[in-house]
Amino acid sequence: MAVFTYLRDQNPSSRMQARLGQWYLAWLRMRRNPLAMTGLAIILALLFVAAFAPWLAPYDPLEQDLGRRLLPPLSPGHLFGTDDFGRDMLSRILFGSRITLYIVSLVAVTAPVLGLLVGTVAGYFGGWTDQILMRITDIFLAFPRLILALALIAVMGPGIENAVLAIALTAWPPYARVARAETLTVRTSDYIAAVGLQGAGSGRIIWGHVMPMCLPSVIIRVTLDMAGVILIAAGLGFLGLGVQPPLPEWGLMISSGRKLLFEQWWVATVPGLAIFIVSLGFNLLGDGLRDVLDPRNSGK
C-alpha cells in the first residue's frame, strides 16, 4: 500500500517520484484497454518463446527426417506437422520467432534513431537545413518501402544483416516527419527560450530538451510500424533475398510451402498465422500506447 501511495502522491518530492508516478498512471490507463493488454500479452509471449525456444522446441529445427515428411498437424510427436524435408513445424516456428525478434529489434534501434535525429535537426534549425533534409526524406518516401528494400538488397546481396540494413534505411523517413512536426511545435516554447538564455548550445537543446518531447510520438510510431517491418522481412525471405535456407524464417517457410498449399496446407499456413498473430499484437499494443501517451488523454 505504501508503494501505491508513493506513486499516486499529488506532490512528488523528487523528479524520480514524479516520473514513476507518471508511468504508474499510464499503466493504469493502459490496463483499462483490453485490446492493448491483448497486444501486450502477444508481444510478451513472443519474447518468452524467443528466449526459451531451445527448451520449448521438441526437435532440432534443422534436423531432416525424410521418412516423416509432410505429416499433418496433430500427428504423434508433431503438433503442427512436418514440412517437405521432415522437419518439425512447431520447432521451426519457435526458433523462427528468434529471427523475427532479432530483425524487429535491430530495426527498432536504428531507423527511429536516425529519423529522430534528422527530424529534430531539420525542425529546430529550419531554413536551408530543413529544406535539404526534408527533400532527402521525400526522395525515400517517394518509393514503396518493399520496392526500395528490394533495390538495396539487390545491391548489397541477400542475407539477414543486409535485410535488416535495407529495412532500416527504408523505415526512417516517417520518424523524421513525426519528429520534425513535434520539433516545430516545441522549438518556440518558453522553456526552450529559457534554456537558450542560460547559454545552452543548439546540440544540448536538441538532445536534452527537444528529443525527449518527440519520444512519445516516435515510440507510438515504432510500435505501429513493427507489423510492417515483420511483413517486409517476411516478403524478403519469401523472395529469397532475406534470411537464407535452412534457417527457419517465417517468410522463407511460406515460400517453401507455397507449392504445397492445396495438398499440404499447413506448411505455409502455420508460419502465415504466426506472422498474422505477431503483427496483430504489435498493432494492438501500438493503439494502446497511442491512447496512453497522448497528452490529451492524460486526464482520462
The model's pLDDT over 14-35, given as tens digits with 9 standing for 90+, comes to 777 777 777 777 787 888 889 8
Helices (H) and strands (E) in the chain, counts: 14, 0
Cβ–Cβ under 8 Å, residues 85 and 64? yes
Say which residue the cell 526552450 belongs to. Answer: 192
Q: Which residues contact 44 (CB under 8 A, 6 or more apart)?
A: none
- Taking domain 35-297, whether its CATH number is 3.40.50.720 is answered by no
Amino acid, res. 294: D
Distance CA(76)–CA(18), nearest Å, equals 56
Query: pLDDT for 184-210, tens place per residue?
Result: 888 877 777 787 777 777 778 888 888
Distance CA(89)–CA(49), nearest Å, equals 15
SS3 state at 176: helix
pTM of the model: 0.86
Distance CA(215)–CA(196), nearest Å, equals 21
Distance CA(237)–CA(162), nearest Å, equals 12
Query: pLDDT for 146-166, tens place per residue?
Result: 888 888 888 888 888 888 889
Low-confidence ranges of the chain (pLDDT < 70): 1-4, 6-9, 294-300
Query: pLDDT for 80-90, tens place per residue?
Result: 999 999 999 99
Q: Which residues contact 29 (CB under 8 A, 6 or more apart)?
A: 291, 292, 297, 300
Q: Which three cell numbers stand for residue 145?
A: 518501402
Domain map (residue ranges) of the chain: 2-31, 35-297
Measure CA of the first residue to CA of the last residue in the chain; give whole Å.
Answer: 23
